[in-house]
Structure 1
Amino acid sequence: MKRILLVEDDTVLANSLARYLKMHGYEVDIAKSYFEAGDKTFENMYDLYIFDINLKDGNGIHLLEDLRFADDKTPTIFISALRDSKTVVKGFNAGAEDYIKKPFDPDELLVRIKVRLESKRETEEEKLSYKDIVVKENTAYKNGKPVDLTPLQLNFLKKLIKNQGRVVPKERFFELMEHPSDLGLRVTMSKIKKKTGLEIKAVRGLGYILQ
């Protein structure tokens, strides 16, 4: 079950939205102030934030700026009665993914929540990492610098990272090759090792493992 933190100092609205989202399968925590929200984000992990901007003891935009500074990348939707373009721009510049102006239809919020969570899931699936290697958006990086891999080498690397610590049968690699062969497989693995510096071990008669 996805967990949402709703930061809203209007008790009636907060409780109403929380009930609605719970009816649609979400777990919802409510924070009614800047400092309560800060405590909850420190104590718990959330899949999504929904922040009002004007809070009694602070500002939702400043709250998000503080969280982003602390490397918290949780997707965030702002809900606010503030309709001026400057505030909207500030919200997005602070790191928000969406902004809904009050009053709004709860169904619209629900749709936007689903979009944000789906986008987060796809991003998590796309990013792979092992030691100093990160694969993101079909590019491999070593210590933050791009590694020049062919599409086949990149696909081999993805399969190894996804199965790190386990032997990947050579047949799984053959499925990715236009002209499968043991020699072609060995050459490709050798080039990946040289370019990435990773320890890729051949397990005789079985396949390859990333150690």
Structure 2
Amino acid sequence: MKILLLEDDQILCDSLKEFLELEGYEVHVAHRGPEVYDLTFTQKYDLYILDVNVPEIDGFDVLSSLKDAGDETPAIYITALTDINSISKGFAIGADDYIKKPFDPEELVIRIKRKYQRDDEVICLKDIVYNPVTRVLQKEGQTIGLGEVQKNLFHTLITAHNKVVDSYTLMDFLEQPTPNALRVNLTKLKNKLGIEIKNIRGQGYMIEKI
């Protein structure tokens, strides 16, 4: 699970980053509002953890801008602000949760696991672990990045494991939807992940999960 942490207090930022990484999360940090835009322009995150009172652009405006741009990434605010108006503003902008400073880092981890990483939704296939909610894919404990097309193909096939997905449904994810282009993309996906994707002649494709 990849997390973007916006926090201008260097000590607190380092402490939270270390704690979250010990829990197995990948954490990228920003200390100023504009840094968030730079990071989200080049990378996709599974969760934002945002302080409010940060330099240049505050956490409220940062999330508001991201939401206006169509970013649906879940967000948790961590802030010393305690008045009801600030809390209401955060939720109105689109935050999913709100933690008041000071707080125990363990509380933050508990909330993350409870709301965004439900163990019963994780799908295991050989040495692959996939969370269909966060779309985090790991192989032998290492996070694997896929292009958008292959990511959508894998998600559709693995969430329908042991069932045939028709070729036309899968071709909808392709820029040039042809049977040959679909076979090429599925072959690349098989080779990258070391999995078997069966071609059910005249019907479609499937991943068998035993």
| TM-score bin, normalised by smaller chain | 0.5 to 0.7
Q: What is the aligned residue count? A: 139
Q: 1:164 — aligned with what?
A: 166
Superposition deviation, residue 103 in structure 1 = 0.3
Distance 1:162 1:54 in 2: 50
Distance 1:76 1:162 in 2: 35
Q: Tell me, yes or no, if the aligned pair for 2:64 and 2:93 is still in contact at 8 Å.
A: yes
What letter is aligned with 2:17? A
Q: 1:5 — aligned with what?
A: 4
SS of residue in 1 equivalent to 2:166: coil
Counterparts of 1:1-211 in structure 2, within 5 Å, are 2-118=1-117, 163-165=165-167, 208-209=203-204
Superposition deviation, residue 107 in structure 1 = 0.6
Distance 2:79 2:45 in 1: 21
Aligned-residue identity in percent: 42
Could you say if the C-alpha distance between residues 20 and 122 of structure 1 is closer, same or farther in structure 2, counting changes exceeding 3 Å? same
Distance 2:134 2:17 in 1: 26
Residues 89-136 of structure 1 deviation map (CA, whole Å, 9 limit, x = unaligned): 1101111100000000111000111123237956579xxxxxxxxxxx
What letter is aligned with 1:66? S
Distance 2:98 2:9 in 1: 18
Residues 7-27 of structure 1 deviation map (CA, whole Å, 9 limit, x = unaligned): 000011000100011111011
* Larger Rg over CA atoms: 1
What letter is aligned with 1:24? E
Residues 171-190 of structure 1 deviation map (CA, whole Å, 9 limit, x = unaligned): xxxxxxxxxxxxxxxxxxxx
* Consecutive unaligned residues in structure 2, runs of 5 or more: 122-130, 136-159, 169-199, 206-210
Distance 2:81 2:90 in 1: 11
Distance 2:115 2:7 in 1: 19
Could you say if the C-alpha distance between residues 165 and 14 of structure 1 is closer, same or farther in structure 2, counting changes exceeding 3 Å? same
Could you say if the C-alpha distance between residues 19 and 93 of structure 1 is closer, same or farther in structure 2, counting changes exceeding 3 Å? same
Distance 2:102 2:116 in 1: 23
RMSD (Å), alpha carbons: 2.8
Could you say if the C-alpha distance between residues 43 and 87 of structure 1 is closer, same or farther in structure 2, counting changes exceeding 3 Å? same
Residues 115-174 of structure 1 deviation map (CA, whole Å, 9 limit, x = unaligned): 23237956579xxxxxxxxxxxxxxxxxxxxxxxxxxxxxxxx89x972328xxxxxxxx
* Consecutive unaligned residues in structure 1, runs of 5 or more: 126-157, 167-202
Could you say if the C-alpha distance between residues 100 and 162 of structure 1 is closer, same or farther in structure 2, counting changes exceeding 3 Å? farther
Q: Tell me, yes or no, if the aligned pair for 1:75 and 1:116 is still in contact at 8 Å.
A: no
